[in-house]
Amino acid sequence: MRNKGFIFDIKKFAVHDGPGIRSTVFFKGCPLRCLWCHNPEGISSAPEIMVFAGRCLKDCRDCLAACPKNALNKKDRRIILDRVICDGCGACSRACPAEALKLAGRLVTADQALEQLAKDSAFFRDSGGGITCSGGEPLLQPQFLRQLLVACRRQNLHAAVDTCGHAPFAAYEKILPLTGLFLYDLKLMDDSRHKRLTGVSNRLLLSNLQKLSRSAGNLAIRVPLVPGCNDSAADMAEMADFCASLPNRHPVHLLPYHRGGSGKSQRLGRGDPMAATLPPTPDAIRKTREIFLKRKLAVTIGG
């Protein structure tokens, strides 16, 4: 398998990316720019350096000596990275003895990824788990995604695909026979607000979800619950009505907003548009769950 894919992480023993114990492959690159994204290092399709300032050794200059672009400087223990000059080659991260610099983004073949993933196949079998392709957006790399799914099928590993829905439906049709579970994001019904909060229209996303509901054997809908963005009773009722109107009934996973992406944004040198946003309260989560239950939809918190 010569085609390579661009990923930024492989997370083992994941329990929130589908059933059972799983290993999640995070594809790099996403067509959406959600304000609340908890994997901001997966948005860009280019390699990026993440700076873990607290790990830096005061008297060490190894990263500065290794950088071929002279994109790094240092004041006391503070690393200063010029991201305009940096090309993401990763030389600084390889040279850093304290892992204060981490390269987000690397090329792998499907065989290389599967070699790492298959080591935990006993855990997958015992727990009913498997592999989840997430991101970013896996469908931005359709050839590599299909190769990885084919490799999983040959190893008899259950494969799930976590998708935002922003891809031609023909791309989904090509992986339908190889995908044991689709985890499909549904963020907002109002198109203008969807554009403002995610950067894209939701028309293709909603159309693909309707088609997948008719075609896919196993599909779960994932709804982020983000205070101040989509958490009003009216917004959730509109999404619940849409879910109930689909050709088939699918379980709904409510995903309460958390602050996991905030630190990552800082390590990438970006501002945090959600800095003032707190996670939803238990009462808000309970009320939202009831909205979906009233439509006779199966609801899980997380997953």
Percent of the chain past pLDDT 90, that is, above it, reads 82
End-of-domain residue from the set 104, 124, 141: 104
CA-CA-CA-CA torsion for 89, 92, 96, 101, nearest 10 degrees?
-70
End-of-domain residue from the set 56, 73, 104: 104
* pTM summary value: 0.94
More confident residue, 266 or 293: 293
The answer to whether residues 254 and 133 belong to one domain is yes
- Summarize pLDDT for 127-139 with one digit per residue, the tens: 899 999 999 999 9
The answer to whether residues 62 and 152 belong to one domain is no
The answer to whether residues 61 and 179 belong to one domain is no
- Summarize pLDDT for 72-108 with one digit per residue, the tens: 999 887 899 999 999 999 999 999 999 999 999 999 9
The answer to whether residues 26 and 96 belong to one domain is no
- Summarize pLDDT for 153-207 with one digit per residue, the tens: 999 999 999 999 999 999 999 999 999 999 999 999 999 999 999 999 999 999 9
- Average pLDDT over the chain reads 94
Give the per-residue pLDDT at 125.
85
Separation CA 13–CA 52 (nearest Å)? 24
Q: Which amino acid type is present at position 7?
A: I
The answer to whether residues 98 and 131 belong to one domain is no
Residue 2 has pLDDT above 80, yes or no: no
The answer to whether residues 88 and 206 belong to one domain is no
190 CB-contact burial (10 Å; exposed 0-12 / middle 13-18 / buried 19+): middle
Contacts of 266 (CB under 8 A, 6+ apart): 272
Q: Map residue 248 onto helix, strand or coil.
A: coil
Give the per-residue pLDDT at 278.
94
The answer to whether residues 110 and 161 belong to one domain is yes
Give how many domains the chain has, as a whole number: 2
- Summarize pLDDT for 15-39 with one digit per residue, the tens: 788 888 899 999 999 999 999 999 9
The answer to whether residues 179 and 241 belong to one domain is yes
Separation CA 222–CA 237 (nearest Å)? 15
User: Which backbone phi and psi does 102 adopt, to 5 degrees?
Assistant: -130, 130
More confident residue, 84 or 271: 84
The answer to whether residues 75 and 162 belong to one domain is no
Separation in Å, CA 141 to CA 5, 109, 130, 146, 162: 7, 12, 20, 9, 13
The CATH number given to whatever domain includes residue 89 is 3.30.70.20
Separation CA 29–CA 41 (nearest Å)? 9
The CATH number given to whatever domain includes residue 222 is 3.20.20.70
End-of-domain residue from the set 67, 85, 104: 104
Domain residues for 282? 4-45+106-301
The answer to whether residues 130 and 193 belong to one domain is yes
Give the per-residue pLDDT at 286.
98
pLDDT band at 1 (very low <50, low <70, confident <90, very high): very low
Q: Which amino acid type is present at position 102?
A: K
The answer to whether residues 145 and 287 belong to one domain is yes
Give start and end residues of each alpha helix (H) in the chain. Answer: 62-66, 91-95, 110-117, 121-127, 142-154, 169-175, 191-198, 203-215, 233-245, 260-267, 282-293
Averaged over 104-113, what is the pLDDT? 94
The answer to whether residues 169 and 73 belong to one domain is no
